[in-house]
């Protein structure tokens, strides 16, 4: 299993540009999440999904959109990039609550710089 | 929503000494408390976790304790080694329901183990 994969690893955008960060997992996990990590801070939840077709907002959702059309993929869209969105973005997945295990697996991250 | 506070933000110990990191949480419904280790430029990785029906859990040199009444939990690392140097994050979440997709993280503790 590849686990949780993210592309790209690095990205530089200009203010106002849009882009999609890709996340995929091959572990058949129902739950997927997007976090951003800023220097000196923990991971803050942007959006999450408990299954295909179901998404919800986390702590810091403004400026980001998500969709979950398949179990495997959970892309994060930046609609109009702003310098405040410069951060490292992590995607994570875990099995559903029915499995009674909570281990969350993180992708390698995408380092985004907005100029 | 949940709020997690983590202390200290930095911790420096001599090799062989013990290290203790503490977290407090606000949501009494939280019942799953993982700890993650993040090395520079890498993804967070789970090192130990504890559920609310357990007061303590050990795994070799690492242990976690939970005080549900006081709503705090702690990470204990004994016989520290230079390779333990990293940023450690605590987190809290509700398990076994749709909110299980939402984890709230502390701001992290940078542990430095001096040889």
CA separation (Å) from B49 to A1, A49, B90? Answer: 23, 22, 9
How far is B7 from chain A, CA to nearest CA, in Å?
12
Q: Quick one: average pLDDT of B37-52?
A: 93
Q: Using CA atoms, how far apart are residues B103 and A30, in angstroms rounded to an integer? A: 15
Predicted confidence (pLDDT) at residue B65 exceeds the cutoff of 60: yes
Contact call for residues A92 and A4 (beta carbons, < 8 A) = yes
Q: Using CA atoms, how far apart are residues A104 and A102, in angstroms rounded to an integer? A: 6
Going by pLDDT thresholds of 50, 70 and 90, the confidence category of residue B96 is low
Predicted confidence (pLDDT) at residue B101 exceeds the cutoff of 70: no
Length of chain B: 115
Contact call for residues B68 and B9 (beta carbons, < 8 A) = no
Report the percent of chain B where pLDDT is more than 70: 94
Predicted confidence (pLDDT) at residue A98 exceeds the cutoff of 60: no
> Residue B70: how many CB atoms within 10 A of its CB?
8
All residues of chain B having their beta carbon less than 8 Å from the beta carbon of residue A94 are 100-101
Predicted confidence (pLDDT) at residue B63 exceeds the cutoff of 60: yes
Phi-psi region of A9 (alpha: psi -120 to 50; beta: other; left: phi over 0): alpha
Task: Give the 3-state secondary structure of residue A58.
Answer: coil
Question: Which of A4, A34, A40, A42 to probe by mutation at the B interface, max B CB count within 10 Å?
Answer: A42
Q: Kindly report the three-state secondary structure assignment for every residue of chain B.
A: CCCEEEECCEEEEECCCCEEEEEEECCCCCCEEEEEEECCCCCCEEEEEEECCCCEEEECCEEEEEECCCCEEEEEECCCCHHHCEEEEEEEECCCCHHHHCEEECCCEEEEEEC
pLDDT tens digits along A7-63: 999 999 999 999 999 999 999 888 999 999 998 788 999 999 988 999 999 999 999
Report CB contact under 8 Å: B100, A94.
Answer: yes
Which pLDDT score is estimated for A79? 92
Chain B residue at shortest CA distance from A29: B101
How far is B4 from chain A, CA to nearest CA, in Å?
10
All residues of chain A having their beta carbon less than 8 Å from the beta carbon of residue B86 are none
CA separation (Å) from B33 to A17, A100, B67, B86? Answer: 38, 14, 11, 19
Report CB contact under 8 Å: A104, B103.
Answer: yes
How far is A97 from chain B, CA to nearest CA, in Å?
4
């Amino acid at each position: 299993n590849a686990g949780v994969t993210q592309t790209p690893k690095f990205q530089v955008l200009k203010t106002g540009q849009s882009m999609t960060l890709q996340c995929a997992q091959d572990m058949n996990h129902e739950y997927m999440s997007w976090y951003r990590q800023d220097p000196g801070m923990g991971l803050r939840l942007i959006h999450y999904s408990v299954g295909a077709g179901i998404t919800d907002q986390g702590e810091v959702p403004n400026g980001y959109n998500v969709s979950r059309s398949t179990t495997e993929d959970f892309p994060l869209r930046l609609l109009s990039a702003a310098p405040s969105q410069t951060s490292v973005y992590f995607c994570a997945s875990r099995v559903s609550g029915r499995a009674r295990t909570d281990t969350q697996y993180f992708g390698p991250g995408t380092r985004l710089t907005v100029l | 929503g949940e709020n997690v506070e983590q202390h200290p933000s930095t911790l420096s110990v001599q090799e062989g000494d013990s290290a203790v990191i503490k977290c407090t949480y606000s949501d009494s419904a939280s019942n799953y408390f993982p700890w993650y280790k993040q090395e520079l430029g890498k993804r967070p990785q789970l090192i130990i976790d504890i559920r609310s029906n357990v007061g303590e859990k050990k795994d070799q040199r690492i242990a976690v304790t939970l005080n549900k009444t006081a709503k705090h939990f702690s990470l204990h690392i004994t016989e520290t080694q230079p390779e333990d140097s990293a940023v450690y994050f605590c987190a809290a979440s509700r398990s076994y329901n749709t909110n299980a997709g939402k984890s709230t993280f502390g701001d992290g503790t940078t542990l430095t183990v001096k040889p």
